[in-house]
Amino acid sequence: MRLLVTGGCGFIGTNFVRLVIDRRPDITVVNLDKLTYAGNPLNLADVEKTHGGTRYFFEHADIADAGAVRRILAQHRIDAVVNFAAETHVDRSIDDPAPFVVTNVLGTQTLLTAAREAGVTRFVHVSTDEVYGTLGPEGRFTESTPLAPNSPYSASKAAGDLMARAWFETYGYPVVITRCSNNYGPYQFPEKLIPLMIGRAGRDETLPVYGDGMNVRDWIHVDDHCRGVLLALEKGRPGAVYNFGGAAERPNLEVVRAILRLVGKPESLIRHVTDRPGHDRRYAMDFSLAAQELGYAPEYDFERGLAETVAWYRNNAAWLESVASGAYREFMQRWYGER
């Protein structure tokens, strides 16, 4: 199989490319990435070295650029697409929603159109539990929970999902949509909760926690998510939506405290800051459909996964520093400074 992975230089895409290269010798991967602030080709430098030009190819391009996407699909004779490419940070979407609409909506539509025209017979669109909105203290999201996104990020992802759905309903195009809860693990950009807190605690900086810190997320190790996406690619029913979760609901404050314990720093570093506007209270995933149809089950225990993740960031401090460019620092300072 010749597989196009979009957004392969981001957090989950990097881990997915590594999984496919390691576990599926019959798959050739073409990684199409725009290299936004969140994309780092160095994440895959070792894969480029060992498999570049044989089983791994990199294409610097934008999924919203129809001409570039058409050329790449044709040149590499692509048979399947997994679409990870997206603008992904909720706070940035509140600050400036426009790039989210361009990539997550127009980009998804452009990719769907080009893939269908090129005769690509498999398309997995990767999405998020955030499209379902927020939960009260009870219950879990299922695939039939109505979409009720609350942030510009989740609204743009929901719109992309609806494009993917329409390609199946209108054209019979065999799209599979996956929706996943909050991921953690190696190579995550340090604006997201877990690497942000590990990095700041390591530098003895304060740890900004939104509101009372009791917002609950269903944490999933990125390897479990990537295994789920690979199952969806190989076994997913055309037109289906599959939820993936980690069966590890934790309030943010508990996650931050666990990180402090793991890095040996005091809880006095925690600072409660004004809550994020429209901050969803609780997410939890019912992934029984993926369990039944795909044989999906998360393998990671959260405490083990978090300890391994903290160790990875501590052993890769140079990576953390290198991705935190001047532009990133400026955004973080402005965002947390203002709030």
- Residues near ligand NAD (CB under 6 A): 6-7, 9-13, 32-36, 38-39, 62-64, 84-88, 103, 107, 126-128, 157, 180, 182-183, 189
User: For the residues of 248-302, what is the DSSP string, one character each?
Assistant: -EEEHHHHHHHHHHHHT--GGGEEEEPPPTT---B--B--HHHHHHH-------H
Instruction: Decide whether 94 or 269 has the Cβ nearer to ligand NAD.
Output: 94
DSSP state of 42: G
Cβ 264 to ligand NAD, closest distance in Å? 26
Q: Which two tokens stand for residue 25?
A: 């010798």
Strands annotated E in the chain: 2-6, 28-33, 56-60, 80-83, 122-128, 175-180, 183-184, 207-210, 216-218, 220-221, 241-244, 249-251, 270-273
- Helices 222-235 and 11-23 pack at an angle, to 10 degrees, of 60
Using Cβ positions, the residue closest to ligand NAD within the complex turns out to be 10
Residue 210 annotated as catalytic: no
**The dihedral sign for the CA sequence 234, 239, 245, 247:** negative
Cβ 332 to ligand NAD, closest distance in Å? 15
Residue labelled with tokens 């998804």:
108
Nearest in space to 193 (alpha carbons), one of 202, 183, 203:
183
Instruction: Decide whether 13 or 149 has the Cβ nearer to ligand NAD.
Output: 13
Which residue out of 130, 218, 224, 249 is catalytically annotated? 130
Instruction: Decide whether 150 or 269 has the Cβ nearer to ligand NAD.
Output: 150
Which residue out of 33, 62, 129, 224 is catalytically annotated? 129
Instruction: Decide whether 99 or 202 has the Cβ nearer to ligand NAD.
Output: 99
Instruction: Decide whether 87 or 223 has the Cβ nearer to ligand NAD.
Output: 87
Cβ 63 to ligand NAD, closest distance in Å? 4
Residue 153 annotated as catalytic: yes
Longest dimension (CA), the chain: 57
Q: In this structure, are residues 54 and 98 in contact, taking their beta carbons and an 8 Å threshold?
A: no
Residue 187 annotated as catalytic: no
Cβ 267 to ligand NAD, closest distance in Å? 25
Which residue out of 56, 132, 153, 210 is catalytically annotated? 153
Instruction: Decide whether 128 or 145 has the Cβ nearer to ligand NAD.
Output: 128
Cβ 32 to ligand NAD, closest distance in Å? 6
Cβ 46 to ligand NAD, closest distance in Å? 17
DSSP state of 105: I
In angstroms, how far is CA 313 from the centroid of its own chain?
18
Catalytic residues: 129-130, 153
